[in-house]
Amino acid sequence: MSKDILTGLLLDEECSLTLGELSCACGVYAEWVVELVDEGILEPIGRDAAHWRFSGPSLHRARIVRRLQRDLGVNLAGAALVLDLMDEIGSLRAHLCVLER
Amino acid sequence: MEYKDYYQVMGVEKGATQDEIKRAYRKLARKYHPDVSKESQAEAKFKEVGEAYEVLKDPEKRAAYDQLGANWKAGQEFRPPPDWDAGFEFSGGGFTAGDASAFSDFFESLFGRGAHGGFAGTQQTGPQFRTRGEDHHAKVMIDLDDAFHGATRTITLHAPELDAQGHVTTREHTLNVKIPKGVKQGQHIRLAGQGSPGMGGGGAGDLYLEIEFKPHSFYRVEGRDLYLELPVAPWEAALGAKVKAPTPAGIIDLKIPAGSTSGRKLRLKGRGIPGKPPGDLYVILRIALPPGDTQEAKDIYRTMEQKLAFNPRARLGV
């Protein structure tokens, strides 16, 4: 099988995951994902949990939150703040790279 | 195998209290957490600290480690003395860190191998037990070019796996994976069924690959947008010109507007990483000064000095 070329699913903005798929991909219970939505960390489209659709990058965010929670004992509000600050730092660094060269 | 000084790793004294050890761990874990740290080698440091804490936080393991003696130095060749752990009991399930499989040989020679993630405890369940295999996660480094044109990458993974007897072994696993055109930094690709095999007839887990760009020598990547710093001559900036500029898709002719200043940003719509919508290429002009190292160049600069009423510091009021 090592010689075959595998084509995966790119989890981009156009890709959409159901609550079940996202929970499964993070190895967590759906209730935990619901808490992330309640905290505003993830913003699915759809009127209720059964119809929620999460974008690909949600998976990345959810996995960071899970690691922060597990490794550092950060609560959800703290993790949401960390994510916002990480986004901000990310774009500041990118700008800095452009300016410094 | 090398001896590891867990106290040194944690930066605490040998006589530190459990509270002091906990505080040291909290601080180091924040400093080196791979998601937030910009320290080089953060991931390796984080694992090392996790391993040290795994031993020092547990009074039983700590006492056993301490009785190895105080004469060992970090990095020294180490072999556990026979019966070194007589009288200690490491209760099962003692591995609480997220990734016990990553612990060092030194740790494993003393405390045994950690049960890996989701497998802990599954042995006792009845014959009806079915479980889906674990998901695996890995990073894949790609070039900017790969995002532009798509590519195939060969990835070698070391995956812990349970053999038929229930022992954890490491399996080397080589995959050829298609990197689709238009990927962005931090995006994930999911390869269904490429994680650990399931147990009792359960399906295999998935493999998640996180895309990371290798730094490019002159483009900066931000999402799908690219930034390029383009040097221009003073007369090109002042008078306007048509110059050659590189883009990942090939060399183009770029019109520099007359009266451009250093730092001016020109946007080339749709010339960034392809996608829906494609990113843009931003060209940032930098005015490069010809050296005044020949008589001719000096004369030209002198002429400019005499003929142009130019004060670059006018805005500073001097």
ipTM score for this prediction:
0.73
Q: Is the pLDDT of residue B111 over 50?
A: yes
* B184 shares a domain with B264: no
Q: For the residues A57-73, what does the mean pLDDT come to?
A: 89
Number of compact structural domains in chain B: 3
* B79 shares a domain with B48: yes
Boundaries of domain holding B197: 136-213
* B166 shares a domain with B103: no
Q: Is the pLDDT of residue A37 over 70?
A: yes
Best residue in B95, B190, B230, B266 for a mutation probing chain A (most A CBs within 10 Å): B190
Residue B186 contacts residue A58 (beta carbons within 8 Å) = no
Instruction: Examine residue B18 and state whether it is found in any structural domain, yes or no.
Output: yes
pLDDT bin (cut points 50, 70, 90) of residue B94 is very low
Q: Over chain B, what is the mean pLDDT?
A: 82
Q: Is B156 on the interface with A (CB under 8 A)?
A: no
Beta strands B225-232; A9-11: pairing state: unpaired
Instruction: Examine residue B31 and state whether it is found in any structural domain, yes or no.
Output: yes
Best residue in B25, B31, B36 for a mutation probing chain A (most A CBs within 10 Å): B36
Q: Is the pLDDT of residue B34 over 60?
A: yes
Residues of chain A found within 8 Å of residue B178, distances taken between Cβ atoms: 5-8
Residue B146, C-beta contacts closer than 8 angstroms, at least 6 positions apart: B153, B179, B183
Tokens linked to B154? 């060969």
What pLDDT, in 10s, does the model give residues B153-192? 888 876 666 667 766 667 777 889 999 988 988 888 888 8
Q: Which pLDDT does position B108 carry in this prediction?
A: 76
Q: Is B130 on the interface with A (CB under 8 A)?
A: no
Residue after which a domain boundary falls, among B184, B213, B242: B213
Residue after which a domain boundary falls, among B213, B241, B263: B213
Q: Over chain A, what is the mean pLDDT?
A: 87
For chain A, the domains span 16-100
Tokens linked to B223? 């999402």
What pLDDT, in 10s, does the model give residues B238-284? 999 999 999 988 999 999 999 999 999 999 999 999 888 899 999 99
Q: Give CA–CA dist B166/B114, Å, rounded.
A: 13
Which architecture, in CATH terms, is A16-100?
Orthogonal Bundle (1.10)
Instruction: Examine residue B186 and state whether it is found in any structural domain, yes or no.
Output: yes
Domain containing B35 — which CATH number? 1.10.287.110
Instruction: Examine residue B130 and state whether it is found in any structural domain, yes or no.
Output: no
pLDDT bin (cut points 50, 70, 90) of residue A18 is very high
Q: Which pLDDT does position B115 carry in this prediction?
A: 38
Report the Cα A25 to chain-centroid distance in Å: 11
- Tell me which residue in A11, A14, A98 faces B284 most closely, judged by beta carbons: A98
